[in-house]
Structure formats: structure tokens, C-alpha cells
Amino acid sequence: MFGLGFQELLLLAIIGLIVVLPFWKIFSKAGFSGWFSLAMVVPGLNVIALFYLAFARWPVRQSRT
């Protein structure tokens, strides 16, 4: 009665892809592993990951200089 049906699970998967795919591209362009983007779907961890992305030294920028 209170479980998730197929439609709800499909909607959650679509929303998850909409959130994860852009961050996968951002992390990859910054030189980090794209797998870090999965942190965006975990409450609390997503804020930590954004702060890390904002203030860490990007490997891409280090390799250019």
C-alpha cells in the first residue's frame, strides 16, 4: 500500500539522471572522476561535494601550467 510502484521508481530514476548527468560532466571537465557526481543524490553529501568542487585544486588546471 505504501510501497513505490513502477511509475514512482521510473520517475525517481529520471530525476536522478537529470541531476547526476550534468554534474558528471562538470566533475569530468574539472579533472575529477565522474563517479563523484553520484554524491549529488545523497542529502548532506551533495553540499560537501559542491564545496569540494568549488575550493579544491582542479587537476585540469594543474596540468596546463
Whether 33 is in a domain gets the answer: yes
- Residue 64's pLDDT band, with cuts at 50, 70 and 90, is low
If you average pLDDT over residues 18-43, what whole number do you get? 92
Whether 10 is in a domain gets the answer: yes
Whether 56 is in a domain gets the answer: yes
Give the side-chain half-sphere CA count within 13 A for 10: 3
Tell me how far CA of residue 42 lies from CA of 13, 39, 47, in angstroms.
14, 5, 9
What is the pTM (predicted TM-score) of this model?
0.76
Whether 1 is in a domain gets the answer: no
The pLDDT, as a whole number, for residue 3 is 83
The pLDDT, as a whole number, for residue 7 is 93
The pLDDT, as a whole number, for residue 1 is 57
Domain membership of residue 32 as a residue range = 6-64
Does residue 25 have a pLDDT over 60?
yes
The pLDDT, as a whole number, for residue 47 is 95
Structural domains of the chain, count: 1
